[in-house]
Amino acid sequence: MEVRYRCNVVKYDPGEDTKMSVIFILDFEVETGLFRRMVINLLQSSLFLPIKSISIVNQTIGDCSEFYYANIGSRVKIEFIDRNNILFHFENRNITGTIDNEKLEKWGVRSVSELCKGNIHNNVILTNHLYGQKNEEITETYYI
């Protein structure tokens, strides 16, 4: 089964004593039960702890009342393929994301790798938020 998803990117300054973060948001069009199984399969673990939502996610993809954090260390590696394409390496599968030029221009860069240069944390969020909004269902979000 092929699952459709959208890839967004956010550059986030959390405050004085913390590094700048770049957050890649993969928003999958799938119901929550299937989405949860997909994430467990990607990460090869079912150990997830709930946390409160973070403001940058709420501003970017809407208000997420259910927000989860995978407390199992970093389970994704990010590889930059070319100017607009990123490859996310999970334990069990790779997922390709594409960031359009308009989003890159918003952050004043020409490429995704340029966006992530410097003293920056790179993070990945997996969610089924848009599916939940369209179908009036509860969604889940995982911050890796």
pLDDT band for 62, please (50, 70, 90 cuts): low
Structural domain for 91, as ranges = 5-143
Q: Is the pLDDT assigned to residue 70 strictly greater than 50?
A: no
Q: Which two tokens stand for residue 17?
A: 């004593």
Question: Do 90 and 74 contact (CB within 8 A), yes or no?
Answer: no
9: tokens are 């990117």
Mean pLDDT value of segment 80-107: 92
Report the mean per-residue pLDDT for the chain: 80
Q: Mean per-residue pLDDT for 62-80? A: 61
**Structural domain count, the chain:** 1
Per-residue pLDDT tens for 14-61?
A: 677 677 888 899 999 999 889 888 888 887 776 654 444 455 566 666
- Of 120, 70, 76, 121, nearest to 95 (Cα)? 76
Highest-confidence segment of 74-78, 109-113, 137-141:
109-113
Q: Is residue 131 scored above 60 in pLDDT? A: yes
Q: Which amino acid is at 15?
A: G
CA distance 14 to 7: 21
Residue 26: the pLDDT is: 92
For residues 20 and 116, what is the distance between their CA atoms, to the nearest angstrom? 10
User: What distances in angstroms separate CA 96 from CA 40, 81, 125, one per listed residue?
Assistant: 18, 9, 14
